[in-house]
Each structure stands twice: as C-alpha cells, then as structure tokens.
Amino acid sequence: MRSPKTKRARRARPSILSARLSPNVALETHANGEVVACFHGQSVSLGKLSADAVDRAQELRVGLPLGSFASNSRNMEIHLLVRRLATHGLLEYRLGRSQSGEDLVVIEPQVPDYWPRMLPLPETDTLVLSRFAYMRRRGNEIVVESPRAGALFKLCNPKIATTLAIFSTPQQVKRLRQHDAFPGVEFLALLVACQILFKTKTASDRLREAEGDADLVLWDFHDLLFHTRSTEGRHANPIGGVYPYARVISSPPAVRPSWPGKKIPLCKFSAVQPETISFGRLLRQRHSTRNFDDQRPITLEELSRFLAGTAPVLSEVSSQLEFGEDSASIVYAPRPYPSAGACYELELYLTVDKCEGLARGFYHYDASEHALVPIQVLSTHLEAALMRAAFAMGAPAAPQVLITIAVRFARVSWKYSAIAYKLVLKDVGVLMQTFYLMATDMGLGGCAIGIVNIDLFSKMTGIDFHVEGPVGQFAMGRGIESRTPPLL
C-alpha cells in the first residue's frame, strides 16, 4: 500500500496591486501635451507627456499595475506621472486577483506622501493586530484604519473582515493560508507597512510593550485617535470651518431655548460693581481652592456678580452665509470670553449645596436673561454630583456651588468638520480661566475639575449625552485659606 500523502494547502493566486485615479479626479490633456488633474473645481498641472504616455495615462481610470512600470522611456513617464498624482493625494490603490476582476481591497491614502510598500513576510513570521487599529462602517462600506497608518483599507469582501479578526491574537502567516477568505500575503504586507499589523515574538500579555517605542506605550487608543483626527496631516477628511451640514439642517440657535419654570432674575444683584484689582495681580494670585467655609457660604448676590462678569449674552448678531447658489443664516450671541468661530456653545448648570438666598438644588443659567431656572432632579442625583466633585478634588466636603459646563455639540459641528470637539475643549479651558480670574477678583475660591459623569448629567437633565453633554466642572464658594502654598 502507498502511504497517504499530506494534503497541501492550496495557494491562492498572487494579488495584483494597481494605482488608479480617485473617484473625484479626472485627467485633461491639452494640445501641447500638458496633463492636468481636475478635482472639486481645482486643477493641478502634472507636466507634459509624450503621445504614447498620454494614451496609457487614460488607463489610470481603471488601474495600472504598479509592477508594470519598466525602465523604458514611456513607462518611466507614467511612473513619474503616478508619483506626482500620489504626491497630491489624487490616487487610490486596488488589490485584486486579476486586473479586470473584482476589487478585494481598495487602499485610500491618508497622508500626501503615502506610497504602498510590500514588506517581505516569511511564512514563519508571526503577526498581530495593532491596538490602535479599528474597523468601522462608512456609508455602505467597511473600512480598517489606524491613527498610525498612512492609508485606510476599504474591504470589498466581507470575509476579509473575518480573517482580520483572527489577528486579535498572534498568528503565523503560514497558518492563515488555510482560511477560505485569505486575501493573500500581499495584503498582509501592506497592513504591516501601515502598522495596522505588526510582527511579534512576544507573548500576548506583553504586546503593548512590543508595539513601537517606549513613548508609544504611554498612548491609549482613544487619545491617539482623537489627536490625529482633530489635527491636520494624518487623515484625508475635510477639516475646519467648511459648514458640512449647512445644506442639511438650519443653524442651531445661538442661545439655548429656556428651560421651563419660574426664573430667578439676577440683574438686581449685579448692578453695583465693586473696585477690582489689577489684571497682573489677578494672574499671580489665581490658585485652586478645594476647601470651603460652610459657616460663611457664598451669597446669591455674589453668585449673580460672578455669572454677570463671566457668562451672560452681551448682544445678538445675525449673518448670512453664501454657498454658491445656496445660502444659510446664522445668529451669534457674544459673551465675555472668546469662543471658536463665535459659536458660544457652552451652557452652565449649577448644582447648589449652600448659597445664602438660593435654595439647594439644580439650576440652568439662562445667559440671555441673566437668570437661574430651577430643574427638578432626584435628591440622590444631586448628592451624587456633589460627592463626586468632592472626591475628584480630594476635598473633605462638597463645594458650595458646582458649575457644570455642558456643550450643545450641534452648534460647533454645524460649522466645523473634524476639529469640532477639539475646539470645544479649548473653549472650556478659556472659560475655566475666566472663572478662576473672576473668583480671585471677588475674593472667592474656585477649582477646575477635569472629571465629569456624562451619564449622571443625562439623567439629571433628560438630554442624550451626544446632544448636550458635560465636558468640565468648576467648584466654587467662599474658600478656606490653606496653610500650605497652593499647587496651582
């Protein structure tokens, strides 16, 4: 009898990597042989080509294999053209079993100088997913990306997503060939070059240290993603004040609609302004106060003056925006502190423990009316907010007044693309310093709190956290002077 032969894994046909024009790009050729790339109403000259090279350049609409650029003069012209297109971010790359077949993967550059590289991958190499890699739905597509990657990968075959999930634990390349949806070692090599996969010889419990250098160990996934996606240079998304939703919805109101309930007017308390100290002295004297004198709580008059000096609406101004044939109107409501794009998206909610002349409770500050509006909340929620603030400060007792700074997110994201949340955080920092200086000027104590519970705030207001949510808190009241020098 013949001994049974070992069944070898069927090797898939090598994938072909091709360059092709991005969907929004067209090539125009002038009579003098100059080739111009046109996109989004803009144009870029790519130089002059020979007649043969111009003819072949038209193949970039469907894709030219990168391996087809040989050393003869015509192909050298095409190679330079493709490189110029890549430099301007006007190309994408397809990976497929054949030139005319379906796409397996489409690679979309996210940085201007991206050029696909296939690093050598021996069969014995062990690969694992980067902890910064993630998969998401984009419209009707599935994409894989990472804040460290120079490109994102659109998966045209859903089975490839299943294969990628296997790399949540280290896997040898040769073992992956047994999977039906194995996209080819070429795809894995491209992922390694983009740092979505990385080679490892480390056990699974030490992968964080094995990926990158000592500085990278300190970054958490969400922090690095936020950093790269809210700045330029590491993504190809629209960014800045492009009004991405101006054609979809009207501008959110400049001033938040008032809460129902009887307002507590503050204007009568804010009419008289006492003498102030110099700005330079204010800056030097500013510090955080975490302990408050509950025998002498802050008064409603002081609270009114504090809010009048830091946060009321000063005026309202309307403006018309033009978008070609379309237009939209927007209203601005300036306040004493600066705000990105004059959005003034921040809202103040006061959790009051002790304030002479004001009942213990939860209030919204109506900036347009300079008034407080009480909001009915559960006593357990009120206590939880105050105790969490005390714990965050490391203080023995709750602050006399806790100001929660919330954001009407739509007010910022209606105008700004990619950087909306980043701008919000900057605005919060500006307002925090404004609070500090005003409290110092009035002889009151204050302390910024960086941790805030978005779920608790949602329960207290009944508003979904993505519609209007808290991003910071400020504890204030009549402080007890510490015998030790303030830290900040």
Q: Is the pLDDT of residue 12 over 90?
A: no
Q: What is the pLDDT of residue 205?
A: 74
Top-confidence residue, 431 or 182: 431
Question: Which segment, 134-143, 275-284, 326-335, is predicted with the most confidence on average?
Answer: 134-143
The CA-based angle 195-197-203, given to 5 degrees, is 120
pLDDT tens for each residue of 106-160: 999 998 889 999 888 998 999 999 999 999 999 999 999 999 999 999 999 988 9
Q: Are strands 445-449 and 468-477 parallel, antiparallel or unpaired?
A: antiparallel
Mean pLDDT computed over 465-484:
87
Top-confidence residue, 285 or 141: 141
Cβ atoms of residues 110 and 152 within 8 Å: yes
pLDDT class for 472, splitting at 50, 70, 90?
very high
User: For all residues of the chain together, what is the average pLDDT?
Assistant: 89
Cβ atoms of residues 307 and 350 within 8 Å: no
pLDDT tens for each residue of 51-67: 888 988 999 999 999 98
Cβ atoms of residues 418 and 239 within 8 Å: yes
Q: Is the pLDDT of residue 430 over 50?
A: yes
Enumerate domains of the chain plus CATH numbers: 16-229 (no CATH), 264-477 (3.40.109.10)
Q: Is the pLDDT of residue 199 over 70?
A: yes
Mean pLDDT computed over 151-179:
89
Torsional class of 244: left (φ above 0), alpha (ψ -120 to 50), beta (otherwise):
alpha
Cα(436)–Cα(259) distance, rounded to whole angstroms? 27
- Cβ neighbour number for residue 294 with a 10 Å cutoff: 14
pTM of the model as a whole: 0.76
Cα(285)–Cα(66) distance, rounded to whole angstroms? 64
Count the residues in the chain: 488
DSSP-derived secondary structure letter, 393: H
pLDDT tens for each residue of 222-257: 889 988 888 878 888 888 888 898 888 999 999 999
User: What is the spatial order of strands in the sheet that 171-172 belongs to?
Assistant: 171-172, 126-129, 197-199
